[in-house]
Structure 1
């Protein structure tokens, strides 16, 4: 049973945490955590006493729920509980028997760093100003209270394992975001593995390099130095723990058992790396499928009448990191045989992650803590597998923004249901806060999904909003996508967003109708048949822009 007092004076002395409320960039969320250096005991006691006066222990019921927070990298809804007839994901099915599966959930920007920054702060990319893989969250918002930090401040043991934040958005893969976690744990290394691969030639090349890679940038540089690594690997009959995600699962199991036996409620964040490139998984997961199960996507070209700059030719896949993939500089293309193998590898990785999920669910059940735990499982964005001639993410199209989101509140009866109205990943923060009985920060951009978890099927918003930038006439512009239950409307706004400009003309628009064109083959924005739908979606867009201080005029160059 959980202790009713979340943080006592002894633990404050041990950690020397002083919580100081300030009135900086984001109002009530500017709760700043400073970790004090070594000091004499008299001064330490004084500071701890001040801390206790400022942030007294929170008294919450002993049945305050635990949170199991599972993030999966690059996972589109290629899951059996989302209707995929090829995939083998029995443990996602198993979770779905207890969960609400959100079938129209969308990320706020379809790339790892910005999406995760949005989820974990509850703010949109235009608020975090994390639009890329180089900007650190706390360089822009030094006093922001992240989701795990919010639970930590309220007395939870917060433990992070694997990829929760993108390491480039925080203090790197070792420290992560210290303010967020009671402890952040690295899964152990496999001495036979380098750059995620067991391929002997790759291991030998890496070990012949002058120095090991310790950051993401160094790893990318090392990949190119050795001529690239395989984009897929599935020939080795090894245990799950031979690769990183198996070791993340094992580490998470150990922590889950320890936390479940403790007195404090816990927030356990577990982040899996697959199915992110390279598509590497033990052979048994590749063997779940036959090559004949897969075929290249039939939609090989961009939507008719779509602006050409929205296209991306597979930057991440073809950037020179992968030895067996034609680089962007090459006239070669990804042929059908290679495309089929890549899709096979993606599905193998999805099944590999499904097995790791099953281990976590088994451990939670056996721990005795399941009936007082809330599970949220989410992916940071979707993924293009060759549709529209696009690979990876980095667009405002459906395959990039549509994400996996499942929430299971195990404290009550099974609640297996689907919710098809639009929701956003940044809705996770207010939802978990409300479910845990913790007052959420007042400036969150999302909406609580608790009415849906309680059985409501009423829409909570008219559209989910995503964004991504593009080069246009030699400069960066920002594209915004509004996804309703039926339509996707995209505006490309010519504004200098990195300079803080909040106004500019709309230079292009796109409109897609999933009822008649589920594969986005034609931009319908200028079709007479869809002018009423265009008007309705523009009204939704105008309301959003007004609420967020964006001023635009309509001057699409394609009209």
Structure 2
């Protein structure tokens, strides 16, 4: 029997801020309980630390540059297959609840239903300009003010949005049971629920802020900004967000970090409610739950906040898969994986060929570091000893605001190489230097590793050609965006279909359809 699949994605939720990943300050009991009997990937990376291109890459199993989604102002082509297309073609009901930051007129990308609008606009409002000075700031840039003003709020746009996402998610699970009752058979479903928390601004509900009243949340371990001669990218990010204009105080940092942890605790509550509803409806035993994020958050490390950086705090994400043991090999796994791997994972669970999902077609050749591998297969290989941390590279791109040229990162075993034309190469030994404080790219004893990893990146990418493509794309999209703001303006934002949910037409039939009986003897077996 093919399982139901529930993917729960948070925005900007760093792996290091969860109890399941070893943080004693976290208050994430529901995620921790989920992880206790799940497959947990300790080194899962996003493939670009920015919202829209990360999600497009995750949904297609392809790198952002391969699908032309460079930044948060780039349209996602409707002709590019996603995991929602594949599962829908395989007979799954597919639904998206919440945020996915699709840019462009296609706001479904294979989902049969989309139950909420997005929290950000779908237009080309966020097109970077690499020819613009970084201190000539565009209005949508991340802003240091989010750190200076962090704290609890009674109501915010993000709270309103996520409260709706949670409500719609729980009701959609009811609807899947109703659909099975009406059809007289079990129809497997994919539901992707995507929240905006704990994304900045850091404004959690008071209830979750209060949970940390007596909790010691450590300060950033290494708040010092790296040497600009060795790491100009971090200084560009600080200048873009305004952190070079005003230093944060210790109290501001602590309030922002507490707010972030409180927002993560809010997400944990929503995950608990979803699991409880699955149990109540009798869906839990044949449903696979996946918890992840689109990228992390620096949270003051190295003087940085938000994402956009190749450092671990920004580029690592949680990846937790809980399901029946015959489908999901439970345990903790150390081999590097990435969000590219989610698409072939879902297709394996659905009984569809993951090889086709990794490329779009069986004939298309894509470099191994730029294609996905089922996370279940990765776990099997690691468990059997057929694959170790050095046997599969993970590639991370950054092609958006805050840089002036393409930045590429390669993770291989204990090493991470960061390359950006005009910047010095950085090589970090994550075993000897887990905080990434000292680049060893110029160290003679690491010369062979640096050369090998750089050669791998150069084999995958034409950096000069990629830079030219991105600059051309930026100019083209700026022209389109400016033109579309003149005259009659038609936005691409998704507007959910009006629902015929309550009593209409067949009076008694509508009441009967809406009813989910509690079975004799308890709630189990309701579906």
TM-score (norm 2): 0.73
Residues 81/120 of structure 1: CA separation in 2 closer, same or farther (3 Å cut): same
Partner of 2:116: 186
1:106-505 pair list within 5 angstroms: 106-138=45-77, 142-163=78-99, 165-167=100-102, 169-171=103-105, 177-186=107-116, 217=125, 231-236=149-154, 243-261=160-178, 262=180, 263-290=186-213, 293-304=216-227, 306-314=230-238, 318=241, 327=242, 331-410=245-324, 412=326, 415-440=329-354, 441=356, 443=359, 445-454=371-380, 455-456=383-384, 458-459=387-388, 461-469=391-399, 476-493=404-421
Name the one with the larger strand percent. Answer: 1
1:83 aligns with 2:22: yes
Q: CA deviation at 1:229?
A: 11
Residues 414/430 of structure 1: CA separation in 2 closer, same or farther (3 Å cut): closer
Partner of 2:456: 543
Structure 2 distance, partners of 1:235, 1:143, is 41
Partner of 1:73: 11
The answer as to whether partners of 1:159 and 1:185 remain within 8 angstroms in 2 is yes
Partner of 2:425: 509
Partner of 1:15: none
The answer as to whether partners of 1:187 and 1:248 remain within 8 angstroms in 2 is no
2:43 pairs with one of 80, 96, 104: 104
The answer as to whether partners of 1:97 and 1:415 remain within 8 angstroms in 2 is no
Q: CA deviation at 1:510?
A: 0.5
Residues 302/488 of structure 1: CA separation in 2 closer, same or farther (3 Å cut): farther
Residues 234/543 of structure 1: CA separation in 2 closer, same or farther (3 Å cut): same
Q: CA deviation at 1:410?
A: 2.7
Partner of 1:32: none
Structure 1 distance, partners of 2:336, 2:22, is 18
Deviations 1:422-472 (A, max 9, x none): 111101111111121112425152112223444445337432111214899
The secondary structure found in structure 1 opposite 2:26 is: coil
Which stretches in structure 2 are left out of the alignment for 5+ residues?
127-137, 181-185, 361-370, 466-527
Structure 2 distance, partners of 1:145, 1:459, is 31
Structure number with the bigger relative contact order (C-alpha 8 A, sep ≥ 6) is: 2
Partner of 1:323: none
Q: CA deviation at 1:135?
A: 0.7
Structure 2 distance, partners of 1:300, 1:223, is 22
Which stretches in structure 1 are left out of the alignment for 5+ residues?
1-62, 189-194, 197-212, 319-326, 495-506, 553-559
Deviations 1:99-147 (A, max 9, x none): 1111111111100011111001111011012111111111xxx421111
Q: CA deviation at 1:530?
A: 3.0
Structure 2 distance, partners of 1:137, 1:476, is 22
The answer as to whether partners of 2:441 and 2:450 remain within 8 angstroms in 1 is no
Deviations 1:54-98 (A, max 9, x none): xxxxxxxxx222110111100101111100111010111111123
Q: CA deviation at 1:415?
A: 5.0
Structure 2 distance, partners of 1:466, 1:514, is 16
Counting matched residue pairs gives 428
The answer as to whether partners of 1:462 and 1:484 remain within 8 angstroms in 2 is yes
TM-score (norm 1): 0.69
The answer as to whether partners of 2:417 and 2:426 remain within 8 angstroms in 1 is yes
Deviations 1:216-245 (A, max 9, x none): 959x96999xx9998534254x89996332
Structure 2 distance, partners of 1:223, 1:469, is 15
Structure 2 distance, partners of 1:542, 1:115, is 25
